[in-house]
Structure 1
Amino acid sequence: MALLLNLMLAISTIFVESCLAESPSKVRLVGGAHRCEGRVEVERNGQWGTVCDDGWDWNDLVVVCRELHCGAANRTQSGASYRPPAPEDQKVLIQDVNCTGIEDTLSQCEQNEDVYNCLHSEDAGARCVNPDSDVRLVDGPGRCQGRVEVLHQEQWSTVCKAGWNLRAAKVVCRQLGCGRALLTQRCCNKMTQGKGPIWMRQMSCSGQEANLQDCPLRLLENNCTHNDDTWMECEDPFELRLVGGDNPCAGRLEVLHKGTWGSVCDDNWGEEEDQVVCKQLGCGKSLSPSFKARKSYRPGTGRIWLDDVVCSGKEKSLESCQHRLWGYHDCTHKEDVEVMCTESTPDFGV
């Protein structure tokens, strides 16, 4: 009997160890403004390593956001843009990830562990909507400008400007992944005032905190009303989109600047610039000029933001390419840039 029990225990141990060896790898995002943004890293045999961005697209991002319980996917981004960068001795563990978008974990997706041609400059990145965020900017022209609201006792409440300063604004911009805080004296008008509760706290931030909730608090003595709601602005992150096409990976190119979308002039524009746009959007590669010539999208209206854009084709973002100062150009909307990419992934640029 004892022999039989020992045999069963040995078999059970082997089975458990086998299951553990085949258990899904862990995933984390490193270097972002919150846990739902950053350079993608996976764990293999107790070792954390990065993911090569070869083949990395929207479907892969959706799965990572789902696995981390990070809400909806927002956009893909180069993992090399997050700081501090991956250590030189850290391994790139997988490449050619190919998810359908319905998997529960990244480990369920097709992937290649035989990494042979990827450097950390090609690390994959991800940004998801952060469900843990306790601050937001609302009623502005974009997600990085607006009335400040904080989540308190499961209610969104406006913030009184009597307890607000530039140091607190720096923390909010960092927390939202919106670049640096801009000094502004603007107040909310009747159209942008809040209508709910008012958070009667003053934050004594140093400006170095990662989250607003890390700042020391004290009660405000002022009797604030919604006439005193705080409005703030952060420098826009560089975002772009393709509009007017059959899918979000084809259409007229628009870039976001100062809360307004505007087009790009096609002076000096070519294959290298197309490749950078498709790469930044996670849309694969650009289609050949002959194929592009068969399509034409309706010209834009409003601002023309960029002209004389020059890329090498190796940049991770159009922001890294040379161009004229924002808004300076000698173009009309008949010269708007059009881009067509090989993929047709969902729009995650806004």
Structure 2
Amino acid sequence: MALLFFLILAICTRPGLLESSSSVRLVSGPHHCEGRVEVKRDGQWGTVCDDEWDLNDVAVVCRELGCGAATGTPSGEIYKPLAEEMQPILISEVKCNGTEDTLAQCGQEDDVYDCSHNEDAGASCEIPETVRLVGGPGRCVGRVEVKHRDQWGTVCQAGWNLSAAKVVCQQLGCGKAILTRTYCDKVSHGQGPIWLSQVSCTGQELTVLGCHSEPWGKNNCTHEEDTWVHCEDPFELKLEGGDNHCSGRLVVRHKGTWGSVCDDGWGEKENQVVCRQLGCGKPLSLSPKARKPFGRGVGHIWLDDVHCSGREQSLEKCQHRFWGHHDCTHKEDVAVICSAQDSGFPGA
């Protein structure tokens, strides 16, 4: 009988079946659906060795986190800050067929002895569309709708505040929330289910579905109480004066107007953020002579003393002086050349 007990125990605790003691997260990425993979065992978070790691494994991680389709198996090394040296590497040789609901259901090895943190696994998933603004003049203004059970529905104004609007604007990649209200015009009213009511956010949530609310569909509201949100125009930047969109003089849009960026304190980390935001690869070195083909800007100089860590997904997230405050001339306009093009300019 004792032998039978230990056999059952061994079968039930073999790698891949410890579901109750395991969970997963993605860290140090641009959003909750991309980053370095970490799993939790016995109350401790550790990384995953990328031996045998493939898109099937990432698909399971994406499903477990409620993200969209798997899009890549990036190295965990690209997500800064890196894992601490003393952080354990908990599993390796993960083998999923891609249909599992959790990573814990996949085959995996718990005895990790030949991996280091430069082999940490990463995962990239699509961000599912769970909120939108409709009926307004653009994607950043309109009636708030959320998706539940593959159906779009509205959000009741009851309990709604500016912190909740802030989360929606950030989730959509728009600017700051500047207005949240109801509209009396019947044309602006939604139809179908009213999914959420008494939404309460701190403003720090990644998605509005991460805020506290009444259970789905539970409310005493009508569509006359549908919530509308007005966000600022999204922050935009571009490079102009070059042969393509990946090289040129940097300009940013603020309050609907394009303006230059002063090069005081500008360096490699700031270039990294610009190239990443534009989807243009990595920055190339740029000598002062290389700026001449791009010319000088005119009009506003919007930003000065910009300081980035290099990890930001948008230049707007970097530290800088108040918009429009500077001590520069257009002789100091920032220019950037990124690797995803053949510039042919001196100094590139």
Shift of 1:135: 1.4
Provide the aligned length of Structure 1 versus Structure 2.
265
CA displacement, residues 203-236 of structure 1 (integer Å, 9 cap, x when unaligned): 23342676527622465445434xx542225689
1:171 and 1:212 in contact (8 A); partners too: no
Evaluate the alpha carbon distance shift between residue 129 and residue 269 of structure 1 in structure 2; reply closer, same or farther with a 3 A threshold.
same
1:316 aligns to what?
Answer: 311
2:229 aligns to what?
Answer: 232
User: Equivalents in 1 of 2:122, 2:250: separation in Å?
Assistant: 22
Evaluate the alpha carbon distance shift between residue 31 and residue 197 of structure 1 in structure 2; reply closer, same or farther with a 3 A threshold.
farther
1:57 aligns to what?
Answer: none
1:242 aligns to what?
Answer: 239
Give yes or no for the alignment of 1:40 onto 2:39: no
Shift of 1:237: 8.4
Give yes or no for the alignment of 1:325 onto 2:292: no
2:214 aligns to what?
Answer: 216
CA displacement, residues 243-268 of structure 1 (integer Å, 9 cap, x when unaligned): 5644442233234656x464333353
Residue from 254, 260, 263 that aligns with 1:264? 260
Evaluate the alpha carbon distance shift between residue 35 and residue 323 of structure 1 in structure 2; reply closer, same or farther with a 3 A threshold.
closer
Matched to 1:253, the amino acid is L
User: Equivalents in 1 of 2:183, 2:242: separation in Å?
Assistant: 36
Residue from 167, 184, 208 that aligns with 2:179? 184
Shift of 1:335: 6.0
Residue from 201, 204, 217 that aligns with 1:207? 201
User: Equivalents in 2 of 1:239, 1:40: separation in Å?
Assistant: 28
1:148 and 1:158 in contact (8 A); partners too: yes
User: Equivalents in 2 of 1:157, 1:257: separation in Å?
Assistant: 32
Give yes or no for the alignment of 1:151 onto 2:144: no
User: Equivalents in 2 of 1:187, 1:268: separation in Å?
Assistant: 44
Matched to 1:150, the amino acid is V
User: Equivalents in 1 of 2:137, 2:332: separation in Å?
Assistant: 26
User: Equivalents in 1 of 2:38, 2:152: separation in Å?
Assistant: 35
Q: Structure 2 unaligned segments of length 5 or more: list them.
A: 1-23, 40-45, 51-57, 90-114, 343-348
Matches within 5 A, 1:276-315: 276-278=272-274, 280-281=276-277, 283-289=281-287, 292-293=290-291, 295-296=293-294, 299=297, 304-306=301-303, 308-311=304-307, 315=310
Evaluate the alpha carbon distance shift between residue 150 and residue 320 of structure 1 in structure 2; reply closer, same or farther with a 3 A threshold.
closer
1:49 and 1:90 in contact (8 A); partners too: no
Shift of 1:79: 3.5
1:138 and 1:147 in contact (8 A); partners too: yes
Evaluate the alpha carbon distance shift between residue 50 and residue 183 of structure 1 in structure 2; reply closer, same or farther with a 3 A threshold.
farther
Evaluate the alpha carbon distance shift between residue 271 and residue 222 of structure 1 in structure 2; reply closer, same or farther with a 3 A threshold.
closer
Evaluate the alpha carbon distance shift between residue 205 and residue 180 of structure 1 in structure 2; reply closer, same or farther with a 3 A threshold.
farther
User: Equivalents in 2 of 1:251, 1:171: separation in Å?
Assistant: 33
User: Equivalents in 2 of 1:341, 1:314: separation in Å?
Assistant: 18
**Which secondary structure does the structure 2 equivalent of 1:295 belong to?**
helix
Evaluate the alpha carbon distance shift between residue 237 and residue 79 of structure 1 in structure 2; reply closer, same or farther with a 3 A threshold.
farther
2:181 and 2:228 in contact (8 A); partners too: yes
1:165 aligns to what?
Answer: 161
- Give aligned-pair identity as a percent: 41
2:297 and 2:330 in contact (8 A); partners too: yes
Shift of 1:325: 0.9
Choose between structure 1 and 2 for higher RCO, CA contacts under 8 A separated by at least 6 residues.
Answer: 1
Evaluate the alpha carbon distance shift between residue 234 and residue 115 of structure 1 in structure 2; reply closer, same or farther with a 3 A threshold.
same
CA displacement, residues 290-343 of structure 1 (integer Å, 9 cap, x when unaligned): 562363268477x5421x3254x8643455765321122466778643211223
Q: Structure 1 unaligned segments of length 5 or more: list them.
A: 1-26, 52-63, 93-112, 346-350
